[in-house]
Amino acid sequence: MEYRSYNQKSFTKAEKVKRYLSPSEIEEIEVVSQVFPFKVNNYVIEKLIDWDNYRDDPIFRLTFPHRDMLFEDDYERVKALMLKGDKEALKRVVDSIRLTLNPHPADQLSNVPKIGEKRLSGSQHKYKETILFFPKQGQTCHAYCSFCFRWPQFVGMEDLKFASKEVELLIEYIKAHPEITDIIFTGGDPLIMSTRLLRGYVEPILEANIPHLKNIRFGTKTLGFWPYRFTSDPDAQDLLNLFEEIRNRGYHLAFMAHFNHYRELETPEVKEAVEKILKTGAVIRTQSPILRHINDSVHVWEKMWRMQVEMDMIPYYMFVARDTGAQHYFGVPLHRAWEIFREAYSRVSGIARTVRGPSMSASPGKICVEGTAVVDGRKVFVLSMIQAKNPSLVNRPFFAEYNEEAYWIDDLKPAFSEKFIFE
């Protein structure tokens, strides 16, 4: 399939959109996308969305903006200015609305590693063993998101020189830090890059032959939203070859796949892509946030984990939608997220219980809701840290007052102590 992408300016050119959406629905999307621009490709439109039920379709809800993503009066203000064509006033209002949506949640810019005075601005070293690397050309989605999802896209070659400079510093840093065992290529979406460009990053790392570096990971949405990246794209085979080369050098290659709904696992395209990736010796681990309107049901998670195991993938994380963007639209209360997790987890065999969560990626670390309990007549949340900046805090249970309205760690108060263990 030839890649075609649509955004807030061009989405009405897509055949299905023209055929199914009414003028008023198109207008709603136009209004909301002033604040939340979006991007969707022809695979998602043609193969994933069920257009006969698109209003409740999880993939439609995931990719197209929805009126409820804006509060009513914000919606009306944006709509009025948009129809009036007052670009300047519209921009001012849109900017002010975005500022109320916590556009820079904690920790986006911290944990940037340094070599002497030089900052590795494209990296983040938060947990001892693992360095995150954001190749510059894998960042295209950045301005588009109301929570984390990624779009396949391809970029050209002109940045190869830049890549090599960036990766040199990274290698120097990893060499100087023997505690690092993992590198995660993330973004945006690193597999947006052409294979040639990706090689510009990966090959020098392989050449450097760093003895303590054991695991190479790619965090990507590409398998769910553009499986042709691994099957019929012009450089698909070369990408699989690169995976094999990584494996042949003795690394564990972990493909961290983002799937939000089992629908993404159902097409012949994704099945073929998964098989091809696994044949290279890579392991595919899966993760997703729990999102209202998309996957906030036991059935969806149970089925998703079952299908993933059936396809030889390993369920890894359920995340809590973070405190940014349209959290009021996608957010699921912590107690509900945990109930869904627990119930779905109880329905699958141990093989699928590799999954952990629901987990909040907050500044002190990944905080997991282990459950609720009544202690001394008080109802509490039992929490623990799956990952922590301070490794001695990992996997120690701690408590918060039970709160039905809590969506994020900031909404919780410690129980039985003055402070949380990470404070």
Ligand X SMILES: *Cc1c(COP(=O)(O)O)cnc(C)c1O
Task: Give Cβ neighbours of residue 102 (< 8 Å, ≥ 6 apart).
Answer: 323, 324, 325, 327
CA angle 418, 421, 423 (to 5 degrees): 75
Burial class (CB in 10 A: 0-12, 13-18, 19+), 160: middle
Pairing of strands 5-7, 114-115: unpaired
- In the list ligand SF4, ligand X, none, the entry touching 387 (Cβ below 5 to 8 angstroms by class) is ligand X
Indicate which of ligand SF4, ligand X, none lies near residue 130 (CB less than 5 to 8 Å, by partner kind). Answer: ligand X
Cα distances (angstroms) measured from residue 228 to each of 3, 84, 96, 217: 9, 42, 39, 20
Q: How far is the CB of 246 from ligand X (least distance, A)?
A: 18
Comparing CB distances to ligand SF4, the nearer of 34 and 140 is: 140
Please enumerate in sequence order all residues whose Cβ is within 8 A of that of 325, keeping only pairs 6 or more positions apart, or say none: 36, 101, 102, 103, 145, 146, 147
Distance CA 315, CA 301 (A): 10
Q: 144 is in the binding site of which of ligand SF4, ligand X, none (Cβ under 5 to 8 A by kind)?
A: ligand SF4
On the CB side of 414, CA atoms within 13 Å amount to 11
DSSP-based three-state secondary structure for 372: strand
Paired with 219 in beta bridges are 256
* Residue (145 or 216) nearer to ligand SF4, CB: 145
Does 142 bind ligand SF4 (CB under 6 A)? Our answer is yes
Quick one: which of 45, 101, 141, 265 contacts ligand SF4 (CB under 6 A)? 141
Closer residue to ligand SF4, CB minimum distance, 187 or 227: 187
Q: Token pair for residue 155?
A: 């970029």
* Residue 39 binds ligand SF4, judged by CB under 6 A: no
Which listed range, 70-78, 137-145, 193-201, 210-218, lies at the site for ligand SF4 (CB under 6 A)? 137-145
The least CB distance from residue 115 to ligand X, in Å, is 19
Min CB(337)–ligand SF4 separation in Å:
19
From 77, 136, 150, 292, residue interacting with ligand SF4 (rule: CB under 6 A): 150
Among ligand SF4, ligand X, none, residue 145 binds (CB under 5-8 Å by kind): ligand SF4
Nearest to 55 by CA among 42, 47, 46, 64: 64
Structure-token pair, residue 404: 């039905």
Q: What is the number of the residue whose Cβ is closest to ligand SF4? A: 145
Stretch in the footprint of ligand SF4 (CB under 6 A) among 14-22, 72-80, 139-147, 333-341:
139-147
- x/- site string to ligand SF4, residues 50 to 79, per CB under 6 A? ------------------------------
CB of 319 to ligand X, least distance (A): 9
Q: Give the whole-angstrom CA distance, residue 48 versus residue 153.
A: 18
- Nearest approach, Cβ of 184 to ligand X (angstroms)? 6
Across-strand partners of 385? 367, 394
**Nearest CB to ligand X, comparing residues 82 and 388:** 388
CA distance 380 to 404: 11
Nearer Cβ to ligand SF4 (118/142): 142
> Between residues 66 and 356, which has the closer beta carbon with respect to ligand X?
356
Give the residue, chosen from 188, 190, 315, 364, that forms a contact with ligand SF4 under the rule CB under 6 A: 188
Question: Under the criterion CB under 6 A, does residue 133 sit at the interface with ligand SF4?
Answer: no
**Choice between 60 and 225, CB closer to ligand SF4:** 225
Helix (H) / strand (E) containing 196: helix 195-208
Residues whose CB is less than 8 angstroms from the CB of residue 278 and which lie 6 or more positions away in sequence, other chains included: 284, 312
227: exposed, middle or buried (Cβ count in 10 Å: 0-12, 13-18, 19+): buried
44 secondary structure, DSSP code: I
On whether the CB atoms of residues 291 and 330 are closer than 8 A, the answer is yes
148 binds, among ligand SF4, ligand X, none (CB under 5 to 8 A by kind): ligand SF4
Residue 306 touches which of ligand SF4, ligand X, none (CB < 5 to 8 A by kind)?
A: none
Q: Which residue in 45, 48, 132, 145 binds ligand SF4 (CB under 6 A)?
A: 145
Q: How far apart are CA 383 and CA 413, in angstroms?
A: 12
Interface residues with ligand X (CB under 6 A)?
A: 124, 126-127, 130, 132, 184, 361, 366, 387
Nearer to ligand SF4, 286 or 384 (CB): 286
SS3 321: coil
Residue 213 Rama label (left phi>0; alpha psi -120 to 50; beta): beta
Q: Which does 241 bind (CB under 5 to 8 A by kind): ligand X, ligand SF4, none?
A: none
User: Which positions touch ligand SF4 (CB under 6 A)?
Assistant: 141-142, 144-145, 148-150, 187-188
